[in-house]
Structure 1
């Protein structure tokens, strides 16, 4: 049966798409071409599961609200270790509604792909940060959260109904929350909100739903790599999902992290460990990937293991810190190294 291996999501955009985005106007043709090329290249290197590389998303986080009128630009600011920041928009009115569902991206990818397609969606906990701390007149926070849960459920369910191989919730704010609130109260709120959505799905459906965690990865920097993973992982595994995608290749103490995963992973879940680091310019070798998988197999049963990249390679459309060719080279190493490890383990 081998060891499953999946991409996380974003791939750096080709120069033609970047030029079209910079020029403004209709970018549909450039986006469609980038999606087709991304899937073709993933299939050529043997990826058993593909994504559209988020070529048509403005960012992994804001695709549902792009074009929403009730937004101001001065929302929450996310600082990165190298000093740069990203700023979320701020909601100014309700009711809250997604402007675009992820199933649209999925269906476009399925028209090109010949292998199963995975779809990434943003976790509702991330979008909860759009609501301002001082509230919105006539639109209380609890009503916003009710609307958000409904919209997030519909986003996931639409992808499952459209035949997604798996739907992955991007939960990068999980580790960041412990930096903002070391007590863990914010993280507990995030987990509870996400579970309000996940609990609406059956056990069979949750087996096709996963959650991705990482310390952020943008312009070769992170926002929360200095936060102890041991504070996040036990709460992360309280999420009612069948798969967990855990950044590991860039983690300074991988053995300790694997020990925590082994002790906390729910009995009915699979963990995909990150075996390539998107913000490291050095391309991993298949041998390095194989060794990382074998190290994980010393902590966890091989039949509960998978592999992935630590994070997406370009979560924001304007992130050109990693080249497109480097991203595909790293993915090739992941695919080949995972297969090597599976062979050594007799899978």
Structure 2
């Protein structure tokens, strides 16, 4: 018996890469130098994932400024003063806001996928921003000459094209980062916003065949930035029924950091439908302590009491550094947690198979 295990996406950037990014932003170095450093960081990331035993690798988002704005970074028509995302420790992140149309991606995640594939023969997973997140860039007051309907039409087209390009480039899985799902219930407890965002994502997913959707997944969590979360206090039971309306074939769910994991697993089991695989989080990126393989094993066995093993997978609770400047977790700690996840999942598979 084998239980699949996958990373979520981001990994801490190396000191060399962070320095190169800061120098590039300040105009002290050129594009070519930055790309060379990024390539070294991607190669090192892939090699370390393989050394940790990870059966699926990623580029660790080493060349992304963050997991949200990478498609439109540097695009004219954006202002930095968009939606504010507050975190429990008091810090916040702020999304950009669109000031003019049209809406077009400047970069596609396909380029990150192809860069990672140059350094490995292992399956490569690619994380992409969900269209629902980018829809929050449109201002409530509207944009003269560029109605919201036209913006959403262009957004869905760009999102479809990015996902399809990654599938065509042989991505093992394309993961939509739907990180704002839980947060929306803090902003709108009635759930109307979450319902609309799920519908938007489903409109994009409907453009793919059932076989293609089997290679598309959705990640949902309470945020993980600078060792803090933005919505861990929101009840998962209020989110999951909406989340499982999505027609993706894989779901990646934060679980290790939950106070009552069994309760969440019961909700997942109630929503689970045939043909879907659920990857449960078994390591917590915002906890500096490295889990032991035995702890991971026990978490997997507990999940298997609720989720059929042939529909079960494991992952980390979140990416380790969704924003490039997040240095709260070292690369060494991140890869140690990944090794524990891989080894603990294998222990659980052996136990459950026996």
Deviation at 1:113, TM superposition (A): 1.4
Match of 2:113 among 94, 106, 110: 106
- Say whether residues 1:251 and 2:258 are aligned partners: yes
Secondary structure in 2 matching 1:116: coil
**Partner residue in 2 for 1:133:** 140
Deviation at 1:21, TM superposition (A): 1.1
**Partner residue in 2 for 1:18:** 18
**Partner residue in 2 for 1:200:** 207
- Say whether residues 1:84 and 2:95 are aligned partners: no
**Partner residue in 2 for 1:230:** 237
Deviation at 1:73, TM superposition (A): 1.1
Paired residue total: 347
**Partner residue in 2 for 1:332:** 339
**Partner residue in 2 for 1:42:** 49
Deviation at 1:76, TM superposition (A): 0.8
Alignment partners' CA distance in 2, 1:11 and 1:113: 17
Alignment partners' CA distance in 1, 2:304 and 2:81: 45
Alignment partners' CA distance in 2, 1:22 and 1:241: 37
Deviation at 1:242, TM superposition (A): 0.2
**Partner residue in 2 for 1:53:** 60
Runs of 5+ consecutive residues of structure 1 not aligned to the other structure = none
Secondary structure in 2 matching 1:272: strand
With the length of structure 2 as denominator, give the TM-score of the two structures: 0.97
**Partner residue in 1 for 2:349:** 342
Report the RMSD for the aligned CA atoms in angstroms: 0.7
- Say whether residues 1:273 and 2:280 are aligned partners: yes
Match of 1:178 among 174, 185, 188: 185
Deviation at 1:45, TM superposition (A): 1.2
**Partner residue in 2 for 1:323:** 330
Alignment partners' CA distance in 2, 1:290 and 1:305: 13
Alignment partners' CA distance in 2, 1:113 and 1:232: 36
Alignment partners' CA distance in 2, 1:216 and 1:45: 25
- Say whether residues 1:220 and 2:224 are aligned partners: no
Deviation at 1:268, TM superposition (A): 1.6
Alignment partners' CA distance in 2, 1:173 and 1:6: 21
Alignment partners' CA distance in 1, 2:343 and 2:240: 28
Alignment partners' CA distance in 1, 2:159 and 2:23: 32
Alignment partners' CA distance in 2, 1:129 and 1:298: 38
Runs (4 or more) in structure 1 with deviation over 4 Å come to: none
**Partner residue in 2 for 1:95:** 102
Deviation at 1:208, TM superposition (A): 0.1
Deviation at 1:173, TM superposition (A): 0.4
Deviation at 1:256, TM superposition (A): 0.0
Provide Cα deviations, 1:86-114, integer angstroms capped at 9, x if missing partner: 01111111110000011010000001012
With the length of structure 1 as denominator, give the TM-score of the two structures: 0.99
**Partner residue in 1 for 2:71:** 64
Match of 1:261 among 265, 268, 274: 268
Alignment partners' CA distance in 2, 1:79 and 1:199: 32
Alignment partners' CA distance in 2, 1:285 and 1:23: 38
Match of 1:154 among 144, 153, 161: 161
Runs of 5+ consecutive residues of structure 2 not aligned to the other structure = none
- Say whether residues 1:310 and 2:321 are aligned partners: no
